[in-house]
């Protein structure tokens, strides 16, 4: 597997402009001759589909829900970063770049991250022009707030629903293109396989979720905008349908999968309350602007929070990290919460929670101000927990939230399969080993609105593409294979010989295995044991999982089973990757690699690379390749937020 990142020549600040100039173009009159498939219609997919159609390409877009507006980008609460420096508090493109690459613990490519910071400003302008109702100051200018991992105020927001408003902006642009015929939209479709012809991505096989029909779609380029794989852990903040299937199919066709063990555990989620729980709910990190995190000073203190006097409280983040306080990056906040709970200082019925207290902020700014900033979050919290953050401190605990790993892509977002691009959370490109808050929205839209047009044009202009139709043999073969696999999953539909278990039971088992052994803190022994246990769980799935109904009908159990089957395979490269990386880095602590103060210890000498996994056939160990990371403009420093 050749990993040529194709990073443009020249000084950091000129790379992107040089690259746009050097990339070949497709004449406007010729663009309508090219068909482009976009899978997934979240921020990355909707913005890419709309933009490419505006430019004249013929776009086919696919989404798993009944409308592109449902994609999980919609759930992002806090905001989107941009280097506008409207607050004149010292922000700049270079500072946003520096904060992002430092926040990612120096495991991302300089050139990509710098480009992200550059186009961040265009994103805000674009979204404003679309009518996204960003929060405003009384005078009418755009408002900002601050976020974890940064000392400037650069986050733009629309109440606690920024993701929703940005997605609806991209969705409106997409809807306009559907109306003009530039985009053909396929709702309730799930991508089941990628079709590769002559070594190039030329189409996909989808399943129509309403009637179970398998469908072939051919194109000149395929864009995967299918999000992250956090649901491998069963419980996460992802939507129920979020899955790894599209990316995993691409991997099995030869796309390298980068840093699969880089998973972000978000510090401010509502704690788990029962076995039946189906998902975890995130409370925006922006709450840490005004909330103070604390636990009782004395282990085992089970008094109610109001009964614990100030001197018996441990504001551990403020004490340990005085300069960043409650706004330390996500990994530091998560790890410290876990550490407090491990010391029996956790609160709530399960002891797996810490307090996030707004009492001081309410006293300082008044209830009205706090409600204006966080009203919808408080309401959401109260609905779920039956407790009001205005009266009692919130309880929070870390949960799987975002996956920095993803399909390996070059500077043009192309995977190791020519013609196959990956955008947004689906790729690995910009967040290194840890994503800063308000950066996911920025990256999804940067990829879709601003990066992909030049990348796709260059690919199409420089690649001789033979004619392919969806009646070609490759498509028939692929459909056959998909059909066989579905039949194999359905084989226990009359009740398996080994007894019946449900899809969720297996999924939960996998989730526990990963959370316990490949979560925030990892060690060699546990990872090896997880690797050992995995095949048995997989076998149990194929022997016992019971799927009612038929494959040629709307069958939600079958949909879930297909996704879980892929998570069961995918988990293996996740664990391999975690095993290989014997350093603490970004989101995870490798227990063998700690400083004397028990802080994470990165190992730049041996691990300053992207680990990229190549499929070698079922049942064979995947092969790892390295893309060495070169830092010419920043000096990797041990992160310190003290």
Partner 1 sequence: MATIDLNLQIWRQKNSDALGQLEEYLLEKISTDMSFLEMLDVLNDKLTLEGKDPVAFDHDCREGICGMCGAVINGIAHGPERETTLCQLHMRHFANGDTLVIEPFRSRAFPIRKDLIVDRSAFEKIIQSGGYVSVNTGGAPDGNSIPISSQIAELAMDAAACIGCGACVASCPNGAAMLFTSAKISQLCLLPQGHGERRQRALSMVATMDKEGFGNCTNLRECEAVCPKSISIRNIARLNREFVKAAFLEG
* Residues labelled as active-site residues: 330
By three-state DSSP, how is residue 133 classified? coil
- Contacts of partner 1 in 434-473 (CB under 8 A): 449-450, 453
Of 4, 88, 278, 462, which lies in the binding site for partner 1, with binding defined by CB under 8 A?
Answer: 278
Any contact of residue 89 with partner 1 (CB under 8 A)? Answer: no
Instruction: Report the residue number, 74 or 404, with the smaller CB distance to partner 1.
Output: 74
By three-state DSSP, how is residue 393 classified? coil
Any contact of residue 92 with partner 1 (CB under 8 A)? Answer: no
- Contacts of partner 1 in 19-78 (CB under 8 A): 47, 50-51, 54, 65-67, 69-72, 74-75
Task: Compute how many other C-beta atoms are within 10 angstroms of the C-beta atom of residue 230.
Answer: 27
Minimum CB separation from partner 1 for residue 350, in Å? 12
DSSP letters, 80-118, are: EE----TT-SS--HHHHHHHHHHHTTT-S-HHHHHHHHH
Task: Compute how many other C-beta atoms are within 10 angstroms of the C-beta atom of residue 18.
Answer: 13
Point out which span in 378-386, 507-515, 522-530, 621-629 binds partner 1 (CB under 8 A).
Answer: 378-386
Of 136, 302, 524, 642, which lies in the binding site for partner 1, with binding defined by CB under 8 A?
Answer: 136
Any contact of residue 380 with partner 1 (CB under 8 A)? Answer: yes
- Contacts of partner 1 in 206-225 (CB under 8 A): 210
Minimum CB separation from partner 1 for residue 584, in Å? 31
Point out which span in 381-389, 406-414, 427-435, 571-579 binds partner 1 (CB under 8 A).
Answer: 381-389
DSSP 585: B
Element (H, E) at 294: strand 292-296
Minimum CB separation from partner 1 for residue 300, in Å? 22
- The phi and psi torsions of 632 (rounded to 5 degrees) equal -105, -20
Find, among 174, 633, 255, the residue nearest to 445 by Cα. Answer: 174
First to last CA, the chain: 41
Beta bridge mates, 218: 203
Point out which span in 101-109, 379-387, 457-465, 580-588 binds partner 1 (CB under 8 A).
Answer: 379-387
Task: Compute how many other C-beta atoms are within 10 angstroms of the C-beta atom of residue 29.
Answer: 8
Minimum CB separation from partner 1 for residue 98, in Å? 23
Of 212, 483, 549, 551, which lies in the binding site for partner 1, with binding defined by CB under 8 A?
Answer: 549
Minimum CB separation from partner 1 for residue 469, in Å? 28
Q: How many residues bind partner 1 (CB under 8 A)?
A: 83
- Sheet containing 292-296: give its strands across: 263-269, 394-403, 354-357, 292-296, 313-314
- Contacts of partner 1 in 246-275 (CB under 8 A): 273-274
Any contact of residue 172 with partner 1 (CB under 8 A)? Answer: yes
Q: How many residues does the chain have?
A: 642
CA 427 to chain centre: 9
Minimum CB separation from partner 1 for residue 307, in Å? 23
Point out which span in 190-198, 354-362, 427-435, 552-560 binds partner 1 (CB under 8 A).
Answer: 552-560
Any contact of residue 498 with partner 1 (CB under 8 A)? Answer: no
Of 1, 86, 582, 604, which lies in the binding site for partner 1, with binding defined by CB under 8 A?
Answer: 86
Instruction: Return d(Cα 281, Cα 238) in angstroms, integer.
Output: 9
Minimum CB separation from partner 1 for residue 50, in Å? 7
| Pairing assessment for the beta strands 183-186 and 58-62 based on DSSP bridges | parallel
Minimum CB separation from partner 1 for residue 63, in Å? 11
- Contacts of partner 1 in 232-251 (CB under 8 A): 239-241
Instruction: Return d(Cα 584, Cα 190) in angstroms, integer.
Output: 36
Instruction: Report the residue number, 479 or 493, with the smaller CB distance to partner 1.
Output: 493
Minimum CB separation from partner 1 for residue 210, in Å? 6
Instruction: Report the residue number, 238 or 429, with the smaller CB distance to partner 1.
Output: 238
Task: Compute how many other C-beta atoms are within 10 angstroms of the C-beta atom of residue 497.
Answer: 7
Find, among 18, 59, 294, the residue nearest to 180 by Cα. Answer: 59
Element (H, E) at 216: strand 214-218
DSSP 145: B
Instruction: Report the residue number, 562 or 586, with the smaller CB distance to partner 1.
Output: 562
Point out which span in 15-23, 542-550, 579-587, 604-612 binds partner 1 (CB under 8 A).
Answer: 542-550
DSSP 125: H
Any contact of residue 151 with partner 1 (CB under 8 A)? Answer: no
Of 28, 90, 140, 497, which lies in the binding site for partner 1, with binding defined by CB under 8 A?
Answer: 140
Any contact of residue 400 with partner 1 (CB under 8 A)? Answer: no
Instruction: Return d(Cα 599, Cα 607) in angstroms, integer.
Output: 18
Q: Which two tokens stand for residue 99?
A: 């904060």
Of 142, 362, 474, 624, which lies in the binding site for partner 1, with binding defined by CB under 8 A?
Answer: 142
Instruction: Return d(Cα 413, Cα 381) in angstroms, integer.
Output: 38
């Amino acid at each position: 597997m050749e990993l040529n990142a194709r990073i443009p020549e020249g000084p950091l600040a000129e790379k992107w402009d040089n690259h746009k100039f050097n990339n070949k173009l497709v004449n406007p009159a010729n663009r309508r001759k090219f068909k482009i498939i976009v899978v997934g219609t979240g921020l990355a997919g909707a913005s890419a589909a709309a933009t490419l159609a505006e430019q004249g390409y013929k776009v086919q877009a696919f989404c798993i829900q009944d409308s592109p507006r449902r994609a999980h980008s919609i759930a992002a609460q806090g905001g989107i970063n941009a280097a506008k420096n409207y607050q004149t508090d010292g922000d700049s493109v270079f500072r946003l770049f520096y904060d992002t690459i430092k926040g990612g613990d120096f495991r991302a490519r300089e050139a990509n991250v710098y480009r992200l910071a550059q186009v961040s400003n265009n994103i805000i302008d674009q979204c404003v022009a679309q009518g996204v109702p960003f929060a405003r100051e009384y005078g009418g200018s755009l408002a900002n707030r601050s976020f974890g991992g940064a000392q400037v105020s650069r986050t733009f927001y629309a109440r606690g629903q920024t993701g929703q408003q940005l997605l609806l902006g991209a969705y409106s642009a997409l809807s306009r293109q559907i109306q003009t015929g530039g985009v053909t939209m396929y709702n309730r479709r799930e991508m089941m396989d990628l079709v590769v012809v002559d070594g190039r991505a030329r189409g996909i096989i989808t399943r129509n979720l309403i009637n179970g029909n398998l469908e072939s779609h051919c194109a000149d380029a395929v864009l995967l905008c299918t999000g992250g794989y956090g649901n491998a852990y069963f419980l996460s903040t992802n939507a129920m349908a979020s899955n790894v299937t599209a990316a995993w199919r691409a991997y099995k066709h030869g796309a390298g999968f980068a840093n699969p063990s880089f998973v972000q555990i978000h510090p401010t989620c509502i704690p788990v309350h029962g076995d039946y729980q189906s998902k975890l709910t995130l409370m925006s990190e922006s709450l840490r602007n005004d909330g103070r995190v604390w636990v009782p000073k004395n282990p085992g203190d089970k008094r109610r929070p109001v009964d614990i006097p100030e001197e018996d409280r441990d504001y551990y983040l403020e004490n340990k990290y005085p300069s960043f306080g409650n706004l330390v990056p996500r990994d530091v906040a998560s790890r410290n919460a876990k550490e407090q709970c491990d010391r029996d200082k956790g609160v709530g019925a399960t002891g797996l929670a810490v307090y996030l207290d707004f009492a001081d902020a309410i006293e300082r700014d008044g209830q009205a101000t706090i409600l204006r900033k966080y009203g919808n979050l408080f309401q959401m919290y109260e609905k779920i927990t039956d407790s009001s953050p205005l009266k009692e401190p919130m309880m929070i605990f870390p949960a799987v939230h975002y996956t920095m790993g993803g399909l390996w892509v070059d500077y043009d977002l192309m995977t190791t399969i020519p013609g196959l691009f990956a955008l947004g959370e689906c790729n690995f490109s910009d967040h290194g080993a840890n994503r800063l808050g308000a950066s996911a929205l920025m990256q999804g839209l940067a990829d879709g609105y601003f990066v992909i047009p030049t990348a796709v044009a260059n690919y199409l202009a420089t690649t001789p593409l033979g004619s392919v139709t969806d009646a070609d043999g490759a498509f028939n073969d692929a459909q056959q294979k998909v059909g066989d696999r579905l039949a194999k999953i359905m084989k226990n539909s009359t009740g398996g010989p080994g007894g019946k278990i449900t899809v969720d039971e297996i999924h939960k088992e996998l989730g526990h295995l990963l959370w316990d052994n490949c979560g925030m803190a990892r060690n060699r022994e546990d990872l090896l044991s997880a690797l050992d246990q995995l095949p048995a769980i997989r076998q149990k799935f194929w022997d016992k999982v019971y799927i009612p109904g038929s494959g040629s009908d709307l069958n939600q159990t079958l949909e879930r089973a297909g996704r879980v089957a892929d998570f069961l395979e995918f988990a293996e490269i996740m664990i391999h990757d975690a095993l290989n990386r014997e350093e603490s880095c970004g989101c995870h602590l490798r227990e063998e690699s700690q400083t004397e103060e028990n802080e994470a210890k990165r190992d730049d000498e041996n691990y300053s690379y992207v680990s990229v996994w190549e499929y070698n056939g079922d049942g064979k160990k995947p092969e790892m390749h390295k893309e060495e990371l070169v830092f010419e403009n920043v000096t990797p420093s041990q992160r310190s937020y003290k």
